[in-house]
Amino acid sequence: MTLASVQGQPRAMDALQSALRSGSVHHAYLFAGPEGVGKELAAVGLAQALTCPEAPEVGCGKCTSCVRITKGLHPDVTWVMPDDERVSRGLAGRSDFTGTPSRELRVEQIRQLQERLALRGLESKRKVAILVSAEQMNVQAQNAFLKTLEEPPAETTLILVASAMDRLLPTIRSRCSKVYFGPLPVDLVARHVQQERKLDADTAALAAVMSGGSLGRALALDVDALKERKDVLTAFEALNGDDIPALLRFAEAHGGSREDADTALELLILWTRDVSLAKAGAGDAMANRDLKALAEAAAKRTSEAQLHRRHTLLESARTAIGSRNGAPRLQLERLLIELCVEGR
């Protein structure tokens, strides 16, 4: 596990490897991009390259130093993450905390990090700090961390890993060298999913498309839910404005929680794309290739303007549920009524 093992992110890797070769490593990096696309793997690789005694500025990935970084055990590489993240990774138990483990990075954690960075490195000349889910720093923590960015300890590299960069204060973003990570190629994700989860090629391809180019999300997708998509999409295409109770039943079935509603909306957004492809005569490029006949039938009765409107409404509903804390069932009811009143 080194920088060379990060796949599907050539621009990000070129930027980091160029900095290492030229000796112009920045004191603080912000690795920004969707979840599950290699940001944390790249942070590990950069930490290895900065501390590896066998292959300086590259990282061998095999020596004791590199292996301990991978396991989170190197004394000069500090990991900071929210408590609930530590629990989900098996690094701590719920009994280790009073009450519910925090989803935030707290100011106490930042102060502990500052104290540790003030010490001399035990094994390596350079010290590295990796802040996982850095956007989860609360305001107090961000203000405290700002001092470290403004007056970084000597021979220290800070790596902030963030999936929502806009949640960080502008003053923090401006003091970091930004490295952007984009969605991974679908074929790369599909290949890994097929190998690791032992899925058939079509199911792996669908998981890759639905994950939005995130290997992490693709590996975590519920395969049974993927198989149920046919029933969901068939029911959606059968909805019409003359049967309001059916609209409400659909919203009730898929609006029980934010997660359920987000999954349904993500599926419908992907389906809208498939219908658009079928309308353009490119059905073979669909994600739901086994539902090609259904998509072609929907394409015949739906105009391009209606498909564009449907996509806009679906995205708006997803944003309302995810970002504005909109009630899932209510948002789905509103979406379906808006779609069916004026037609899809």
* Phi-psi label, residue 325: left if phi above 0, alpha if psi -120 to 50, beta otherwise: left
Tokens 């804390």 sit at which residue? Answer: 325
pLDDT in tens, 281-294: 988 778 787 889 99
The answer to whether the CB of 23 falls within 8 A of the CB of 50 is no
pLDDT in tens, 260-281: 898 899 889 989 999 999 999 9
Higher pLDDT, 323 or 303: 303
The answer to whether the CB of 179 falls within 8 A of the CB of 3 is no
Q: Residue 137's pLDDT band (boundaries 50, 70, 90)?
A: very high
Which residues does 289 contact at the CB level (< 8 Å), separation at least 6? 202, 283
pLDDT in tens, 26-59: 999 999 998 999 999 999 999 999 999 999 999 9
* DSSP type of residue 50: H
User: First and final CA of the chain: distance in angstroms?
Assistant: 48
pLDDT in tens, 67-111: 999 999 999 999 999 999 999 888 888 888 888 889 899 999 999
- Taking the model in full, what pTM does it have? 0.76
In the chain, what's the furthest Cα-to-Cα distance?
72
Residue 198 vs residues 98, 157, 194, 213: alpha-carbon distances, Å: 40, 39, 5, 19
Higher pLDDT, 256 or 39: 39
The angle formed by the CA atoms of residues 287, 290 and 295, to the nearest 5 degrees, is 75
How much is the pLDDT for 344? Answer: 47
The answer to whether the CB of 265 falls within 8 A of the CB of 321 is yes
Which residues does 102 contact at the CB level (< 8 Å), separation at least 6? 82, 83, 84
* DSSP type of residue 316: H
**Average pLDDT score over the chain:** 91
Length of the chain: 344
What percent of the chain clears pLDDT 70, i.e. is strictly above it?
Answer: 98
What percent of the chain clears pLDDT 90, i.e. is strictly above it?
Answer: 68
How much is the pLDDT for 341? Answer: 65
Q: Which among 196, 160, 210, 197 is positioned nearest to 181, based on CA atoms?
A: 160
Higher pLDDT, 322 or 94: 94
Higher pLDDT, 199 or 77: 77
